[in-house]
Structure 1
Amino acid sequence: MAGAGLRPCPRAHRRPTPRRGRRQAILARRAEGQSIREIAAAKVSVGVVHKTLNTAAAPVDG
């Protein structure tokens, strides 16, 4: 059987999300006009910065 015993990684297809303090720092730096790459230079991946900014800008249903 091909793939028998292999389990998917629990974090597969999911980027890590930053803790509250780092998230607020990302949003504050973006509000100052910094680019995603400039923010990511502070030891955060570009993907995490992008995800944080997109979820912050997403409308909330309700």
Structure 2
Amino acid sequence: MTGKQLKQIIQQQGISQKYISKEICLSYTSLNSYLNGHTHISKSKYYRLCALLQQMGEDVLL
């Protein structure tokens, strides 16, 4: 999934980007840049983000 697709899921769930950035140990600025398609994040951060969304009931492909 792309950052923009994940951003849509996050918005639909009403989860704050600050909360997510804290949970996956990534700065808010880096997360926001990734979700807006401006940069990439490491695979480990991507997997942590997907795992977090799955814990919240989202069907996210790893």
Category of TM-score, reference length = shorter chain: 0.3 to 0.5
Query: TM-score of the superposition, structure 2-length normalised?
Result: 0.36
| TM-score (normalised: structure 1) | 0.36
Computing the radius of gyration from Cα coordinates, the structure with the larger value is 1
